[in-house]
Chains A and B, each alone.
Chain A
Amino acid sequence: MKEPAPQPVREPPVASAILFLLTGPILWAGHLTLVYAFQSVTCAIGAFPSAATVIPAFVALATLVAAMVLLVAIWAPGRLTRYRSERGENQTFLRAVSRLLSVLSLTGVLWTGSAAFALDACGRLR
């Protein structure tokens, strides 16, 4: 009789590990997509007569929300994705990488968001 196959070693789902590691960059990408899409569509279709006010307000709100979430990700990595893994050197490494990526992403989000306060919402350079 054939020996039954041993079960493969289980680890937390890879998808949750990836989300845990990349929380910051994913939020950065979401923020950039959101503010760029909103500004482009609003300017193109003239949805709001007062685009000059609405767009900076929207960008500010999106930046604030993204920054808050990123701060949570920096303060308590894993809380957003509920990722849990066994303790050890690997886990310390993943937490540090996740945290530092969130710091980097926060810089990017604030840098991008600040542009809305310096420039005309729909104006072109030429």
Chain B
Amino acid sequence: MQASGGTRDDGFEEFVAATGPRLLRMAWLLTGDAHLAEDLVQTALAKVWPKWHRIRDEHPEAYLRRTLVTTHSSWWRRRWRGELPHGEVPDLRAAPDAYAGVDLEELLGAAVRALPARQRAVVVLRFFEDLGVEETAEVLGCTAGTVKSQSAKALRTLRAALPVREECHD
């Protein structure tokens, strides 16, 4: 990657090194697959790099996050990956210990893949990236109301699949 002309001293690689691990995990949640996640990250980085000099001083993480989500959305729309939501989510709530004996990664992967793309993006942005409703709406290009409704639907699905609050409250 040695460049002639000294074009690599602009901090982009350092930025990737710092944000890459979190970004890759976010991509995994969006795709449910490690290889697709890396491909998604690389595609997003390839879109952002040419604009780096314009965005590096203005919240580049947010720009990259938005690019990641919109890229995944475009994949979803074009069905490039042949990915479809699962019709049913494996019910693992009956496991004696929610986490013991369960491959949490597998469980979580199955659960998020069961969500439609938009709901999945809402979950990732709101509950993994800890963005607020307004910020999530901005990234997804929709209204706050849509984020709330998509969030509620997603949580209902996840509640049925994940070992969250196993005991019902009185």
Q: Do A and B bind each other?
A: no
**Residues of A at under 8 Å CB distance from B?**
none
**Residues of B at under 8 Å CB distance from A?**
none
